[in-house]
Structures are given as structure tokens and as C-alpha cells.
Amino acid sequence: MPGPLEGLRIVELSAFVAAPLGGMTLAQLGADVIRIDPIGGNIDFERWPLGPHGASLYWAGLNKSKRSIALALDTAEGRSIAQALITAPGADGGILLTNLPSSDWCGYTTLSAKRSDLIALRLSGNHDGSSAVDYTVNCASGFPLITGPGVGPVNHVLPAWDVAAGLYMATGLLAAERHRLRTGRGQEIRIALSDVMLATMGTLGYLADYELNETVREPLGNALYGAFGADFPTGDGRRVMIVALTPRQWRSVVEATGLAAELGAIEQATGLDLTLEGDRFRAHRAICNILAPWIAARTLEELRQIFDQHRVLWGPYQDISQLMTEDRRCSLQNPLFQRIDQPGVGTHLVPGSPLSFGAFPRTDVRPAPRLGQHTDELLRDFIGYSDTEIRRLRGAEIVA
């Protein structure tokens, strides 16, 4: 089924997480995203985790719904083919998404000379073009020093800055394409991974909190800063997270637990008003001392029934196996998911786009391509090579 971006053509030169995620985000909305790789695959082609037959599950996950061409990018002819594909004519083409450093052959100046309305978005590590990755950006953010119990820095295993950067890249390309529709002009867009981190730190108030209040956030473990949120062990060895951001959510906790008198005593003893978000944070320890034994006396399933009945904002801690076996959201009951047969990997549960459009039915999830799977058709359709010329390129190991 067509998606909302049907007809939009994007060429991707990328590796690792951010840029491939940006391309996949657009591909799952119907854009024709063509990934160019060197013959044999780019540096992330075999990255862990691996499937039972050795194929990269990481690569397959980040390249769903794309097309693939494999070129000898270390040769002049291979680079010339890549340029021709990037700058191929068509009102909805001429768009490049990349995290490769700017070079003579794929730089904006070179490519825009071949197509004046070219759009090129390039991700770098830092704004000055120097290298950085999620792990080096995250350690500089301050977050690892306020994550966990405070015994040392704790890196988050989620590459959050890569994910955010990939979504920014998708948004940036759509904004530039809209500008081109209005004006007929292309442009180069640049984004730096560390700027994504810095913009987020500023937007969430962390930078202003230090500059205006000289506050350096203390590590709080699993507690929620500025409101009430805490994790508790259950009677059957599981663990739950309970959150109360709003007065209604706090009332739900009080009603579900039946501890109105005990929790009210905190207000009488301290003068705090637990209907206020900040006061719930100030009373965090006292609240936890009252809730903990009540929760520890009940199993996860008992808590589930009580909390859901009273609309408590909560969630169970679960490992990935429990996510896939116990959580209905991570199953075919959720229209996000389909089961697909990924070449080289096998049949497994795969998500499509989390966006659901009223005017478009959810499209089928398409697997990641085999490396170079669409080489011949792309050479024919967009560059005009004949079968004879394609055979010559294969024989010369320019394409694969």
C-alpha cells in the first residue's frame, strides 16, 4: 500500500544508527530510500547482535523497507555511479542523507553542480566536523553522573542521542523538501550529534538550572525528579514503577492502596501538600516508606488488577524475554507489528512505523534488502544503463 511519502526518493550513504534510522523512518512512510554501500558492506554490516546464521540483526532492523545498491566506492567509476544516482532527475529526487564526512566526490558543492536543486543533509559528530559517537557525547552530557545510585557514572544502554538525531534528520529532510517545493531551491543541512545532546539538555532545563540556580543534579536512582516516582519490589520477586505527576494520578495511588490516613499523616507532620507535584518530591522518602510494605505484601498480578482498576500510572519492570512473552503491546495484538521473513535471518516479529495516519492504512513491513539486491534495476531505471553495460560493470567489479 502507498504511504504518505510515496514518490519521494532519498539516497542514503550511512553507517551505524542515526542516519540509517533517519532513512528507515522515511522509508516506512512510503519514501523510496536507496542505500548505497561499498561492495561487501559498510563498516556496520556485521555489527552485533547477530542472528542464528551470523547475519546482523542490527543492520536488518535499521534498513527495513529500503533498496540496496553495492558499488566499488573506492574507484572513480563507482563514485561516478553513486553521484549519478544521487542527482538523477525527477521532481521528488535529488535528496542525500549521509553521515559520511564531506569529500570531493560526495560533497554538496560537487553534487549541486550536477543538480542545482539538490538537498543534502549531513550528520557530523561535533559542529566543527570532528568525530563523536553516542557514547562520547553521552559521557559529556552529565547524564551518566546522575543515573543510577551515585557510585560512579552509569552509561545508558539506549543510544538515545543517535535515535534523536535520526528523527531530527528525517524531520530536516522533509522541511528542506517542502522549502524546495515552494522555492525550487535546494540546500545543504548540517546537524551534529553533540548539538542534538546540547539542544536536549537546554530544552529540558538542565543548562538553565545550573546557570540560574547553580544546581548540579544529584543521582536519584530510579526516583523521578520533581514529582513522585519510585520503584518497589513485589511479593513475588518482581519490581514495579509507580508514577504520580498530576493530582489525579496521586489520588489514584491513594485510593488504590487505601493508605489515605497514613499518607495524610505526612502532610500533618511536614506541612507539605501532597496534591502538589513538588511537595510529593520533597516527601519522596516518607511516601516510599509507607507504600513499600503494602506493595511487598502483594504479587505482581494482584497489583496489576488493583492498579488497573484504579487507573494508577504504573508499569512492571521486565527483561526482554518478559517483554516479548508477557506484554501484549509487544505482539501481533498491536498493529505496529508483523511477522516477516528476513533473508539470512528468518521469520520474526518486526515493527513498522509507530505513526498511524487516518488517511493511509498501515503499510506492510518490508524486510531489509540483501546487500546490493536492487543494483541492476537501479542502474537501469535511474541511470539508463543497458544489460550489456551492467554485465561489464559486474565483470570489472564496479557493482555487485
Between CA 241 and CA 222 the distance in angstroms is 8
**SS3 call for 353:** coil
Between CA 25 and CA 33 the distance in angstroms is 10
Give mean pLDDT, residues 351-363. Answer: 92
* 22-76 residue pLDDT tens: 999 999 999 999 999 999 999 999 999 999 999 999 999 999 999 999 999 999 9
* 213-225 residue pLDDT tens: 999 989 999 999 9
Residue 81 CA: distances (Å) to CA of 10, 19, 101, 351, 397: 15, 21, 19, 33, 13
Q: What local confidence, expressed as pLDDT, does residue 2 receive?
A: 79
* CB under 8 A, 24+ apart: contacts of 352-360: 352/28, 353/25, 353/28, 353/29, 355/29, 357/3, 357/4, 359/4, 360/1, 360/2, 360/3, 360/4, 360/30
For helices 160-183 and 193-203, what crossing angle results, to 10°? 100
Cell of 24: 528507515
Q: Which domains does the chain have, with CATH numbers?
A: 9-201+332-395 (3.40.50.10540), 239-316 (no CATH)
DSSP state of 259: -
**What is the model's pTM?**
0.95
Residues whose CB is less than 8 angstroms from the CB of residue 374 and which lie 6 or more positions away in sequence, other chains included: 34, 67, 68, 69
pLDDT(81) > 70:
yes
Strand order from edge to edge, sheet including 228-233: 228-233, 239-244, 313-316
Cell of 325: 512473552
Give me the active site residues, please.
Answer: 162
pLDDT(1) > 70:
no
pLDDT(324) > 90:
yes
